[in-house]
A and B are shown apart, each in its own frame.
Chain A
């Protein structure tokens, strides 16, 4: 105790004899008084020396580093978001910047929600999101399960499988338009090779019945590898000794799969679903290049409708209202989903 005293005494400035006087008579039994004295001594010490040496405190360095990011985020994400909220309550048209802007209240929202075309687009989107996720999860998990068997050359096949994911969506859209060509396209040719149906008898992109499936096939082809990668991470995270324990506990391969593999990989699978759902909810580029929303509006997903509303009809206010509705829907659903995901992860 005395040692600690001397230390704190030394920290006291020489021109503060009062505190030093207070220090000396204290005995070991008098702890509270001692603590007070020590605290006083600490307060009397000149401002933290360590900080002065470095010039900046840790906190200011942290601020210095994140300020550019925050500024950028505010400028290109948060500000436009708030601006769009504002515009959604007005009759603003982006092609007439000089026209007077009038507040219209909730009219834009009312119109959007009552518009059958928009509901049609939402249905198309839902159909697209549902089927792409279902197919990608099934095929992706199956591929991951096979790759995880660690057969000879599994690293090579992993790379091969991952190639589609590395392409640009624009390139993929253009490629598949050629593949889907009824006369020269490889897709039709292969299909007819296996089924005997003449290749030019059907048009994947031109038919009302087939075009929604055409875009689902392309998206699945492109993004299944991504799902596989996440599922593979999930499967690899299950330690071998868990399977050894199950094996010794006489669990069949089927039971091991359902009571160990699936539940333990579930957080990863759910994460993959979340990523793919958010991505596909805002799907735009690939569909525009494949079908442009056609034929008619059979493949017109929500973001294409939104783009037409905003930059073809130039009803900026209405488009903003639609965008806000989409944003709230995705954000809300994602939040509920993340809560469920966390619950699964906590197990």
Chain B
């Protein structure tokens, strides 16, 4: 395990700038999640660390050593590819054993066998060890891909949306499992996803990428409650943060220059509107343990979470007010 750091990295493919001046340090034993939409440069960042791409500018260091010019094999990183990249002509067992058979490692056959079986159990593929890797479902292939990384003890694990094609239940389980494995082994892990729940639940720190730039880096708590701009605020939170013009809903103390107010569930207070109603319940989505209230206020739509037993129904008039919401200026930056 080692500390991995990127300094002022830039990379472009033709005219497309994939990564702009990115600086990021993943501390030894830390779980960092890069969160961003498609095309934000998440995968390119991973590939730059792995050495599969060469940066146009900047430095990558692993364990304090400059990696410029080092081939992927020399960097000792493990990569979980989004498209699995399993060896199609080998069995699951052989796929898992492949990295261990590297002459750089010199492991005995017993040791390889033990590690393969241990990891197969961990990612729950041990019943299919003798199957061809092409004769698996998408979820199984993804688990083999994760397993192939976990059999190794590299300086850093790089994972590119490793849970994206699993079903919801297994995704939830493996999320916990991955986090457990990571903290047990104390491994350094850089994880790329566009799923905010994965980011929130697993990360020690989250980096928000947009358009090749690292917009904000911080603990999940910080990112959630103190987003630096509108983009970051919109990435986290379920339901989506409500972005409303200043002055629409009473309450709060907007600083000078506020253009937009970001209001999550915890920033909205609902009272029964006794003659002073300013909003109306549009629709209620029942999710079981909670409900989404869709409200309308002066032509704007808002969504908030509510206790399913709240005695409201569509058409009810309510009084809506703000409680310490997030304020954003005209340029989208947060105002405090």
Residues of B contacting A249 in the complex (Cβ-Cβ under 8 angstroms)? 98-99, 102, 148, 152
B83 at the interface (CB under 8 A from A): yes
**Distance to closest chain A CB from B156 (angstroms):** 11
Residues of A contacting B83 in the complex (Cβ-Cβ under 8 angstroms)? 241
**Cross-chain contact of A250 among B52, B81, B89, B104 (Cβ < 8 A):** B104
Residues of B contacting A264 in the complex (Cβ-Cβ under 8 angstroms)? 88-89
A245 at the interface (CB under 8 A from B): yes
Name A249's closest neighbour in chain B (CB-CB).
B99
Give Cα distance in the complex from A260 to B85, angstroms. 12
Give Cα distance in the complex from A252 to B105, angstroms. 12
B71 at the interface (CB under 8 A from A): yes
Known: A245-B79, A248-B52, A250-B105. 15 other contacts (CB 8 A): A242-B85, A242-B88, A244-B79, A247-B71, A248-B73, A248-B77, A249-B98, A249-B99, A249-B148, A250-B104, A251-B73, A252-B73, A255-B103, A259-B87, A260-B87
Which A residues contact B (CB, under 8 angstroms)? 241-242, 244-252, 255, 259-260, 263-264, 347
Q: Are A241 and B98 in contact (CB under 8 A)?
A: no
> Can you pick out 16 interface pairs between chain A and chain B where the beta carbons lie within 8 Å of each other?
A241-B85, A242-B88, A244-B79, A244-B85, A245-B79, A247-B52, A248-B52, A248-B72, A248-B73, A248-B77, A249-B99, A250-B102, A259-B87, A260-B87, A263-B89, A347-B88
**Distance to closest chain A CB from B136 (angstroms):** 14
Give Cα distance in the complex from A347 to B86, angstroms. 13
B50 at the interface (CB under 8 A from A): yes
**Distance to closest chain A CB from B159 (angstroms):** 12
Name B76's closest neighbour in chain A (CB-CB).
A250
Name B52's closest neighbour in chain A (CB-CB).
A244
Give Cα distance in the complex from A147 to B148, angstroms. 32
**Distance to closest chain A CB from B143 (angstroms):** 15
How many interface residues does chain B have, given as a range? 20 to 34
Residues of B contacting A260 in the complex (Cβ-Cβ under 8 angstroms)? 87
Name A263's closest neighbour in chain B (CB-CB).
B89
Q: Are A241 and B81 in contact (CB under 8 A)?
A: yes
Give Cα distance in the complex from A85 to B58, angstroms. 77
Q: Are B102 and A251 in contact (CB under 8 A)?
A: yes
B78 at the interface (CB under 8 A from A): yes
Residues of A contacting B85 in the complex (Cβ-Cβ under 8 angstroms)? 241-242, 244-245
Q: A247-B73, A248-B78, A252-B73 are in contact. Are A242 and B103 (CB under 8 A)?
A: no
B132 at the interface (CB under 8 A from A): yes
Name B103's closest neighbour in chain A (CB-CB).
A252
In the complex, chain B residues 58-96 whose Cβ is within 8 Å of any chain A Cβ: 71-73, 76-79, 81, 83, 85-89
Residues of B contacting A245 in the complex (Cβ-Cβ under 8 angstroms)? 79, 81, 85-87, 148
Residues of A contacting B78 in the complex (Cβ-Cβ under 8 angstroms)? 248
Residues of A contacting B76 in the complex (Cβ-Cβ under 8 angstroms)? 250
Residues of A contacting B87 in the complex (Cβ-Cβ under 8 angstroms)? 242, 245-246, 259-260
Name A267's closest neighbour in chain B (CB-CB).
B89
Give Cα distance in the complex from A248 to B76, angstroms. 7
Q: A242-B87, A263-B89 are in contact. Are A247 and B103 (CB under 8 A)?
A: no
Residues of B contacting A247 in the complex (Cβ-Cβ under 8 angstroms)? 52, 71-73
Residues of A contacting B104 in the complex (Cβ-Cβ under 8 angstroms)? 250
Q: Mark B105-134, 1 if CB is under 8 A from A, else 0.
A: 100000000000000000000000000100
**Cross-chain contact of B98 among A251, A252, A347 (Cβ < 8 A):** A251
Q: Mark B147-171, 1 if CB is under 8 A from A, else 0.
A: 0100010000000000000000000
Residues of B contacting A241 in the complex (Cβ-Cβ under 8 angstroms)? 81, 83, 85
Name A239's closest neighbour in chain B (CB-CB).
B85
| Residue of A241, A244, A250, A259 with highest tally of chain B CB at under 10 A | A250
Q: A241-B81, A244-B81 are in contact. Are A250 and B73 (CB under 8 A)?
A: yes
Give Cα distance in the complex from A241 to B99, angstroms. 15
Residues of A contacting B105 in the complex (Cβ-Cβ under 8 angstroms)? 250
**Distance to closest chain A CB from B99 (angstroms):** 4
Give Cα distance in the complex from A249 to B152, angstroms. 9
Give Cα distance in the complex from A86 to B132, angstroms. 49
